[in-house]
Amino acid sequence: MEKLKILIAGSTGYIGTELIKILSKHKFVKIKYLCGNKSAGKKINTFDKTIKYKNLPKIVKFSKKFLRDVDIVFTATPNGDAQKISKLLLPKNKLIDLSADFRLISKDNYKKFYKSKHLAPENISKSIYALPEITKNKVKKFKIISCPGCYPTTILLPLLPLLKKNLIKSKNIIIDSKSGYSGAGRGVHKKFKDKNLYESLSVYGIPTHRHISEIQQELDKYINKKVKFLFTPHLSPMFRGILTTMYLETKNNINTDKVISCLKNFYKKSYFVKIEKKGSLLSTNSVINTNNCKISVINSKEKNRIIILSAIDNLIKGGAGQAVQNLNMIYNFKITEGLR
């Protein structure tokens, strides 16, 4: 088949450069345009020396005329930019967005959490919140594919099946997540200039971290019931990776073996979700540079309480890899294409 032509907007950010690395290895796509504003005219390896693929275009400023030449637009841009681009899409274009622009199904919720008016509310109904292992082939029906945030990915993958099967209680859920500082983008040092990112652990975003909105939305929507949880995010002194720890109350007579069995059965056909042996103590080191999510279930000293660990690479499974996973599902490519 003829290769799909790709445009990447926001190509110089951490997620953008990961997209380039993955798509450069993808047999069925060709990167036609790399877009950026201040970076226009430069080569992409100016921003990431590990990108050594030949025939990559120089960075240019985005123009709507480019949409005539491409099939897929990836947006790894600041919030708001994908909304603007969505209004320019041609019938043949699909948009795979890695920002938060189409994650929320309520424009009012978007304004509440992102402090700005949604610029393309008419396109929200054309979008899908696409966590690949959950939404699967539903992505084929939508023009705009909204990829989940990195924290929600680690949280939703373990919780959704367990809540659906009624194995855990939908209240008193405590979620503690620690992320590498790359999750805040290349501007992280300006944003957190008062913190020593390399030697300290920092709490931030309490109690209104933006990802709370999509976690709440997806949990409630999936089980059609209000879920009550507390979420605390941390910046960790590491570049990439997320480790999430969740403290859950099980229903009566539900033990860790039943929880593990549920997760294994739910994800038995999911290549990138790995359910570890009972009691496994996870490290982000085992998922770095992969599109895997590793999940571990651990006994608690308290009756009817369990601990679940979930680990991903925030730039791949929590970003670029998940976006390409959705691309592969849309076009019936092998799910691992570009992602090994």
Quote the number of domains for the chain.
2
Largest Cα–Cα separation, the chain: 63
With CA atoms as reference, report the closest residue to 328 among 282, 291, 288: 291
Same domain for 165 and 243, yes or no, is yes
pLDDT tens sequence across 21-36: 999 999 999 999 999 9
Which range among 162-166, 204-208, 224-228, 326-330 shows the weakest confidence by mean pLDDT?
Answer: 204-208
CATH number of the domain enclosing 8:
3.40.50.720
Instruction: Kindly report the pTM of this predicted structure.
Output: 0.95
User: Across residues 274-287, what is the average pLDDT?
Assistant: 97
Q: Of 35, 147, 150, 293, which residue is the catalytic one?
A: 150
CATH number of the domain enclosing 260:
3.30.360.10
209 and 152 in contact (C-beta within 8 Å)?
Answer: no
CA distance 266 to 8: 33
Q: Would the pLDDT of 194 be above 70? A: no
Has residue 139 been placed in a domain? yes
Tokens of 45: 């390896």
Tokens 């960790």 — which residue?
236
CA distance 167 to 181: 34
Same domain for 157 and 126, yes or no, is no
**Beta partners for residue 244, in sequence order:** 177, 310
Domain range for 198? 151-313
262 is a catalytic site residue: no
What's the pLDDT at 182? 87
> b/e for 271-294, b at 16 or more Cβ within 10 A?
ebbbbbeeeeebebeebbebbbbb
110 backbone φψ class: left, alpha, beta (φ>0; ψ -120 to 50): alpha
214 and 119 in contact (C-beta within 8 Å)?
Answer: no
pLDDT tens sequence across 38-88: 889 899 988 888 888 888 999 999 999 999 999 999 999 999 999 999 999
Phi, psi of 294 (to 5 degrees): -100, 135
Phi, psi of 296 (to 5 degrees): -130, 140
CA distance 273 to 32: 31
Same domain for 247 and 294, yes or no, is yes
Same domain for 139 and 177, yes or no, is no
Same domain for 214 and 281, yes or no, is yes
Residues in the chain: 340
What's the pLDDT at 130? 98
CA distance 263 to 256: 11
In angstroms, how far is CA 90 from the centroid of its own chain?
25
pLDDT tens sequence across 214-231: 999 999 999 999 999 999
Same domain for 230 and 303, yes or no, is yes
Same domain for 125 and 220, yes or no, is no
What's the pLDDT at 244? 98
140 and 330 in contact (C-beta within 8 Å)?
Answer: yes
Same domain for 242 and 307, yes or no, is yes
